[in-house]
Amino acid sequence: MANEFVSKAVIKRLPRYYRYLGELMNEGVEKISSAGLSEKMHVTASQIRQDLNNFGGFGQQRYGYNVKNLHNEIGLILGLDQPKNIIIAGAGNIGKALSKASDFSQHGFNILAFFDTDPAKIDPEKTIPVYDMSSIRDFTSKNKVDIGVIAVPGKYAFKTAHTFIECGIKAIWNFALVDLDPAVPKDVVIESVHLSESLMTLSYNIKASEEKK
Amino acid sequence: MANEFVSKAVIKRLPRYYRYLGELMNEGVEKISSAGLSEKMHVTASQIRQDLNNFGGFGQQRYGYNVKNLHNEIGLILGLDQPKNIIIAGAGNIGKALSKASDFSQHGFNILAFFDTDPAKIDPEKTIPVYDMSSIRDFTSKNKVDIGVIAVPGKYAFKTAHTFIECGIKAIWNFALVDLDPAVPKDVVIESVHLSESLMTLSYNIKASEEKK
DNA sequence: TAGATTGTTAATCGATTAACAATC
DNA sequence: TAGATTGTTAATCGATTAACAATC
């Protein structure tokens, strides 16, 4: 690990490198050059080398990059070696969809429990138990929780975020259409998925594409 | 509408402007200056004026911007005045979650049907019917479909994309962890939501935040 | 060794911010 | 009218691409 601060643009590309290297690994490919990876990923070889060299020199002149080694190194950079415990606020459809996505658990993300306010949804006997929201403090005091997911309706998002923070949760994955960053202490990290905004971007591009004809 | 090509960075900010203006509208705010909006949104006033002026001069010196008018104009830019019909491939959890998100329908996005290959999931009698995947061509020939959603497991993503394209669908909202863009004709627009990558970015930031202490 | 390919510096490109003249 | 605030040009900043010396 070399540099102190790495630009957000670089960070957002790391999981994609990780994915392609994982695929190459599964195909039994042993080594790859930045030019080879460039062709596969449709980014410039220069960008790949620049990005990687934010974290260290993983390649070797003449040889290129060892696929398995680089995959592992990027995993370490992303912190995937440290399993993460997750709780989800909101046992609705989004929450359930997330809990069943197998690719999360494959990378060490373990969903421990749901929390909801709707008594009809509470069921501590499920594989992933659904507890009452009021028991979240008790739960977090007994279990190490790394990530809190906000999958509640928008109007409850801030309240949920504050509950998470009170419980000492330092990372929030937010699916509500609100901007939490300004409302949260500096040592709490937020990653938001704003589905409506993604859909609106698509809508814009539909129009732009039609006009181009 | 002024400029021909507007940068991707600007486009991605439009839905957020739209959202804040909608909120201001609901609060009964009549007008706002770029400085006022800047403070609310935590972006520079300069950026707001630059962004908006890609599409035209919506403001007025001395007065600022009329909230209702600007909200409407951005809606037009995003194409929200034209309702969009959507079908979802994959009646699993993600698909169901999307179908129940009320904020989509509020903005003119109508989900017409699901398509799935699992006989157990097929149910044409539901509010949003679930049809067999094989009937998709028939359906799209009888209904105008603007957006196809890929909510199937990753290994079926490309096949589904090609089916959509064969059916004349020009816009794909992709939730599978694959890169469709290079595999698709130029007149088909893709918007991808890569949840695993979002989660990995969060994981990186957790580590980075801990190291900063 | 010779040459392929990296790591890294330099050049370019694009996006953001600052400044200010235009104007309502 | 005077001055607040836009639209827009100019300056800065950052990210991407190109070039190339280092080296395995």
Task: Return the pLDDT at A69.
Answer: 98
Question: Model confidence at B137, in pLDDT bands (50, 70, 90)?
Answer: very high
DSSP B92: S
Tokens, residue B137 = 């061509």
List all residues 6 or more positions away from B165 whose beta carbon is below 8 Å from its beta carbon.
Answer: B184, B185, B188
List all residues 6 or more positions away from B46 whose beta carbon is below 8 Å from its beta carbon.
Answer: B34
B76 touches chain A (CB under 8 A): no
CB-facing half-sphere around the CA of A106: CA atoms within 13 A: 7
Task: Return the pLDDT at B4.
Answer: 72
Question: Model confidence at B213, in pLDDT bands (50, 70, 90)?
Answer: low
Q: How far is CA B143 from the centre of its chain?
A: 21
pTM attached to this predicted model: 0.96
**Other C-beta atoms within 10 Å of A69: how many?**
15
What region does A56 belong to: left with phi over 0, alpha with psi -120 to 50, or beta? left
Please name the member of B77, B187, B201 whose beta carbon is closest to the beta carbon of A204.
B77
- In this complex, the nucleotide whose C1' atom is nearest to the CA atom of residue B45 is C17
Regions of chain A where pLDDT drops below 50? 1-3
Which among A142, A203, A149 is positioned nearest to A176, based on CA atoms?
A149
Cα nearest neighbour of A207 on chain B? B79
| Probe site for chain A from B26, B146, B202 (most A CB atoms < 10 A) | B202
Task: Return the pLDDT at A2.
Answer: 38
A31: three-class secondary structure by DSSP:
strand
Tens of pLDDT along B153-185?
Answer: 999 999 999 999 999 999 999 999 999 999 999
Task: Return the pLDDT at A213.
Answer: 65
Query: Cα separation of B17 and B37, whole Å?
Result: 9
Share of chain B above pLDDT 90, in %: 93
